Chains A and B, each alone.
Chain A
């Protein structure tokens, strides 16, 4: 494990291959929850938390359950069940320990189970860090950092979009384009801007 590699993973997950704008993951909440910046921030925080936890837990499941039992082909079923349980569990713990946090993030949590970005990050982690024969410690740290950075990248795109959409409310848009269609056009322009990061060479 080296820090250069780690830095490359962080920048890669946040900017270069941003989950929403470059990899097309998590578009439903991106379109659905980007109407105002407060809920965008809430959703983003919940996603960062769940993605990091999901990366951590799926690493353990993959390394200590699926590989030793030689049932790697069941990873899709195992991961989705683990993520669904995790989200439920996080919601219950949050409700008991921090009602304030639960009140602000709670409504977003059930939405996250079907957010493809969470399962996506788990699958990408397996493909990038677990089957490539990295030492165990390195693969663990890369996995968790990748989960965290992917969540940050998602939140960044979500908040930027929410800020733009708040302005769009005041603009005279042709009627058929209002709502979701114009959101996609804006996302396209944002993706074009994010393509500029593709030239970065790190590590």
Chain B
């Protein structure tokens, strides 16, 4: 795969949320506003990049039998860094993301990439993979958050989108809205996939 391919594979082809159904909990929980989504995406991308780099460098030193605990310690260390930095410089964001910052540790995307990619590939590829997957995760978060914020709050990035007569559907920024948006988006991505496949077959 080319460099560009590594970077954009997370957007659609291997999108961690819509295609692989990984990292669902933070995706649904923090997608109440685009701002939160971007914060979460940035935090997860940082951890993903850090853990991919570290694990790729250490991949020949880590014994296969205890690799999972080793990966978890590496990931947890980066999460702690994020927790402390965010608490110090972005206290408001840190408050609104709440327990989902420490829970980046158990985000299956990060452990999944460590196990499936960076423990088997060199440094350069692992960095690209980390950035690519981070972009894909952030893209999914922002997409869901944008839909929920616009419909549920009438805003985007905190700015009003519609006129004052708009009645926001409050349900969209509450729990049920998250599940339903997610379900519909996943269904849409499946449909898109099928169409693309049919098109590719038609060409042949």
Contacts and interface: CB of A to CB of B under 8 A. Distances in A.
A177 B187 contact: yes
B76 A76 contact: yes
A14 interface: no
Interface in B157-186: 171, 174-180, 182-184, 186
Nearest to A119: B106
A73 B175 contact: no
Interface string B183-204: 1101110110010000000000
A28 B79 CA distance: 20
Nearest to B21: A180
A131 B131 CA distance: 36
A27 B26 CA distance: 10
B102 A184 contact: no
A183 B180 CA distance: 9
B35 interface: no
A79 B182 CA distance: 30
Nearest to B103: A116
B12 to A, nearest CB: 15
Interface residues of B, number: 42
Interface in A45-89: 73-77, 79-81, 84
B180 to A, nearest CB: 4
Given A177-B190, A185-B180, A191-B179, A73 B80 contact: yes
B76 A188 contact: no
B108 interface: yes
A118 B66 CA distance: 21
Chain A interface main SS type: helix
Given A76-B83, A80-B76, A123-B99, A116 B69 contact: no
B106 A116 contact: yes
A194 B176 CA distance: 9
Interface stretch (A2-10, A16-24, A145-153): A16-24
Interface centre among B84, B108, B175, B191 (most CB of A within 10 A): B175
A27 B183 contact: no
B175 A21 contact: yes
A115 B25 CA distance: 10
B125 interface: no
25 contacts: A21-B175, A25-B25, A26-B25, A27-B25, A28-B24, A31-B21, A31-B24, A119-B103, A119-B106, A123-B103, A124-B99, A175-B194, A176-B187, A176-B191, A180-B186, A181-B183, A184-B183, A185-B180, A188-B176, A188-B178, A191-B176, A192-B171, A192-B176, A194-B175, A195-B174
Closest 7 CB pairs of A and B: A184-B183, A188-B179, A176-B190, A188-B180, A181-B187, A24-B29, A185-B183
